[in-house]
Structure 1
């Protein structure tokens, strides 16, 4: 979990961000999905209480999926969640890799 230290500048607050290991896992999945032609763009938001990695099929659309990190939920349901386009939580948990498995299943296709 990465929570930046409070800013030395008055009026600004700390932000939550993905650390290097988390980004490596997320971007690894993103690269495989881009190679499969499923995803084309992404955006990262670092907010005061959460960090969000949004995945898009096209740039001008709403995100297909959001991978969210909420550190305040780490002792309850788990701080990682995958949220679908309609706002439904597809998977939530304490480990990022196990939460991302719900999206990796989309890569598995039957070969005719």
Structure 2
């Protein structure tokens, strides 16, 4: 992924996932790939958010985006799962809480 300076905030500060957050996201990604649901992912570190996007095919728009927005941590919660049309499907203060979205309904993947 090439660095786009237009994403950087003044002074170059950017938001990223912590190691344990990224490990958890990649573990979910691996489970969903094994289930045949997802096939590709992208990670973006923006000035106000870290974004983990998942795709069924690399040429398509993302199926879901899992976003970390620290500025919302005290209000709505820093974490969100966003679907097609920018619809917020789940929001919360903890990553595990938000990722439970993928354990419900049509997603029946077992560790």
Using the size of structure 1 for normalisation, the TM-score is 0.84
- Greater helix proportion: 2
Give distance in 1, aligned partners of 2:47 and 2:41.
20
Q: May I ask how many residue pairs the two structures share in their alignment?
A: 99
Other-structure match for 1:63: 62
Other-structure match for 1:32: 31
Using the size of structure 2 for normalisation, the TM-score is 0.85
Give distance in 1, aligned partners of 2:107 and 2:23.
18
Give distance in 2, aligned partners of 1:34 and 1:79.
26
Which residues in structure 2 correspond to 1:68-87 (within 5 Å)?
Answer: 68-87=67-86
User: Which segments of structure 1 move beyond 6 Å, counting only runs of 4 or more?
Assistant: none
Deviations 1:8-61 (A, max 9, x none): xxx642000001110111111100000000000000000001110000000000
Structure 2 SS opposite 1:81? strand
The two structures, once aligned, show a CA RMSD in angstroms of: 1.3
Structure 2 SS opposite 1:100? helix
Other-structure match for 1:107: 107
